[in-house]
A and B are shown apart, each in its own frame.
Chain A
Amino acid sequence: MRRVLDTVVAVETPEGILLELRPAGLTARAYAFALDWLIRIAIMYAGVLAAAFIGGIGVAFLLILFFALEWFYPVAFELTTSGATPGKRVFGLKVVMDNGLPITPAASVTRNVLRAADFLPFGYGFAIASMLLRSDSKRLGDIAAATLVVHEQRAIPKIMLLKIPPLAPAKPLAPEDQAVLVAFAGRANVLTSERVDELAALAASVSGDAGRSGREVTRRVLGVAQWVLGQR
Chain B
Amino acid sequence: MMTPLQFEQLYQGDWSELEQNLQDILDPKHADALGHAPPSGDRVGMLYRRACDHLALARARSYPAYMIDRLERMTSQAHQVIYFRRDYGIRQLGHFISHRFPALVRAHAVYVAIAAATFLLPGLVLGFLVYWRPDLILSMVSSETASTFEQMYSASAESIGRTRTASTDWMMFGYYIRNNISVSFQCFAGGLFAGVGSLFFLAYNGAFAGSLAGYLTARGLSSTFFPFVSTHSAFELTAIILSGAAGLRIGHAILAPRRLKRIDSLVQASRETIVLLYGVTAMLLVAAGVEAFWSSARWLPPTVKYTSAWICWAAVLSYFWFQGRRAS
Contacts and interface: CB of A to CB of B under 8 A. Distances in A.
B123 to A, nearest CB: 22
Contacts of B26: 81
Q: Which of A64, A66, A100 has the most CB of B within 10 A?
A: A64
B8 to A, nearest CB: 8
A168 interface: no
Interface residues of B, number: 63
A70 B65 contact: no
B179 to A, nearest CB: 9
A208 interface: no
Nearest to A158: B66
Interface stretch (A14-22, A25-33, A85-93, A213-221): A14-22
A144 B174 contact: no
Nearest to A79: B88
A144 B52 contact: no
B246 to A, nearest CB: 10
A113 B189 contact: yes
B263 to A, nearest CB: 6
Secondary structure at chain B's binding surface: helix, strand, loop or mixed? Answer: helix
Given A143-B266, A157-B66, A158-B66, A113 B188 contact: yes
Contact of B168 (A60, A145, A229): A60
Contacts of B5: 229-231
Given A117-B197, A182-B65, A63 B52 contact: no
B133 to A, nearest CB: 33
Contacts of A176: 62
B72 to A, nearest CB: 7
B29 interface: no
A104 interface: yes
Given A13-B52, A56-B171, A155-B70, A110 B79 contact: no
Contacts of B122: none
A4 B73 CA distance: 21
Contacts of B328: none
A156 interface: yes
Contacts of A63: 171, 174-175, 177-178
A144 B192 contact: yes
Interface in A56-86: 56-57, 59-64, 66-67, 70-71, 79, 81, 83
Interface of A: 1, 13, 15-20, 55-57, 59-64, 66-67, 70-71, 79, 81, 83, 96, 100-102, 104-107, 109-110, 113-118, 120, 140, 143-146, 153, 155-159, 175-176, 178-179, 182-183, 185-186, 228-231
Given A71-B182, A106-B275, A116-B182, 13 more contacts: A56-B171, A60-B168, A63-B178, A109-B278, A114-B188, A114-B270, A144-B270, A145-B270, A155-B73, A158-B66, A185-B64, A228-B3, A230-B5
